[in-house]
Amino acid sequence: LYSIQVSIWNYEKKLTNFKDKLEKYNKIISVKNLEKLNKAIDAYNEQRAEEDELDFDISTFEEEDGEPLSMDADEGKFNINQLKSDIEKDLRIISVLKEQLALLIKKDNKIKVLADKLDENEESKVLIFTYFTDTLKYLQLNLPGLVRNKKNLEFALGTKGEIENFARRFAPVSKKYLIKQDEHEIDHLVATDKLSEGQNLQDCGIIINYDLHWNPVRMIQRNGRINRIGSLFNEIFIYNFRPTEQLENYLKLVRKLEEKINLIRYTIGSDQSILDEEPIPQDFTEDLYSRDEKKRMEAFRKIFDSSEFLAADDLFMDDLREFDRSENYDEVYRNSVKNLPKGKWGRVQMRAEDDEFVHLAHMLDENNEAGYFVAFDKNQTGELITATEGLLHIKATSDQNQRFKDNFIRKPFTESYITNFIKTYQFTEDEHKNRFNRNQEEAIIMLRNKMIEYGYPVETIEKVYNCITYSQNAYYNKQNMKLVRQVARLARNNKHIGDEVIQEFIDLAVQYRPEEKTEKAPLSEIIQIFT
């Protein structure tokens, strides 16, 4: 889609052209020398002109040999007076629209910010990319008058050969080009993606993406014009103009671009930032798919801490599937793992630098169906954490099965205060509101809007929303997130979100009892304690 400012500019141009044609047509229907006018139109049609223009002088048909010719049109057939009245009305409407558009064009803050950025970087070459040629033409018309410095600002319009000449004059050192006597070196260059293909422009240290390209590969190619071996700069700078929040909510351009960038980052890696994200080198992606469990786990941890790309249970489902498929374990061993006795102790395998807890407890809920993770600090204060955070802390790799020293004397005391926590701890919903990434939040909002649209009771809608948002029950959360992803997938594919899906949310919400300030946490017994 065009940027809003350029759309306004283009619309103003179309209105001007339409106004000119209406005025010319108004003159045509007022001509009385119809015979000569018809001859001119016939001659025009024979030319098969490509442009829809009547390029002849209307005044020449007003008289013949010094005498005006009059041939009134049949009002019953042509209704000339009504036609003229309609044209005058359209011209008045166009006049009002052009006045309003002129005000909007003057308020184009985006181009003013671009001009200010060029003035800030007066001593540096700047390469500016646009997506549309019309955007480039709009900047060519309006940007020079806003830039205060006297640097040579040019616009790469023209044939392939002409664009190559722009590139040589913009980066003569990298292109090994000697500026001719009748040429001028370019300081600031505005171009479309035609310039992003195969050009070495390391004389420049700054790129401004005036329009974001929907294809991340194109964004990488743009950056690659200056971010490459042979650069004259220790640091390069890349600025991105993002859509306004309101426009982004409608277009979702940045969100879609971020998703595609993340797909590249976590599959083949990236050696540079595109939209402020951290680059991920290729060796990281090798760790992600490594047979070394420790390397895989560390890679997963980094993804979980820094990205919204993967769903929480994706971190662990592959390991469970591998366990079920593996021929290394007989049925007796599988059953012993699945039926570990409650109350066993274990070791926290992965700690972040800012983790201050000394014990981590996994507890059953009151229905003995699923559980909660609670982290306890040295003051015996417990804090509910998400199931994903808890699992990340306790997941062990095959080389982490070494024996460790156990403090038997302290065990009864620890078990006692954790048991007491179960009996006395109270919490409010605000203390453990679940976190969602942008896609999940949009799916939840869409679900709520659909329930309103379909006429579900307010109480039911609130119960579903609270179950998704506030529950720390691992079973409910897993099922809810599975359904949330289903809603997101249906929306992405423009498919109907029906009552069947909504009923699954309701069935979960009916089982959920929201924790209030006067209600105890629904915990029943300790599954395992980790130290």
**The pLDDT value given to residue 300:** 58
pTM over 0.85: no
CA distance from start to end of the chain: 55
Distances (CA, A) of 471 to 140, 153, 280: 56, 58, 34
pLDDT of 68 > 80? The answer is: no
Predicted confidence at residue 178, as pLDDT, reads: 92
**Is it the case that residue 286 has pLDDT exceeding 60?**
no
Count of alpha carbons within 13 angstroms of residue 457, beta-carbon side: 4
Between the CA of residue 413 and those of 62, 394, 417, what are the distances in Å? 110, 22, 6
Domain residue extents for the chain: 4-106, 110-241, 322-428, 431-514
Residue with the larger pLDDT of the pair 495 and 347: 495
The CATH number given to 110-241 is: 3.40.50.300
517 pLDDT band, cuts 50/70/90, is very low
Are 372 and 474 in contact, with CB atoms under 8 Å apart? yes
pLDDT digits (tens, 9 = 90+) for 156-181: 998 888 989 999 999 999 888 999 98
Judge contact between 343 and 530, C-beta under 8 A.
Answer: no
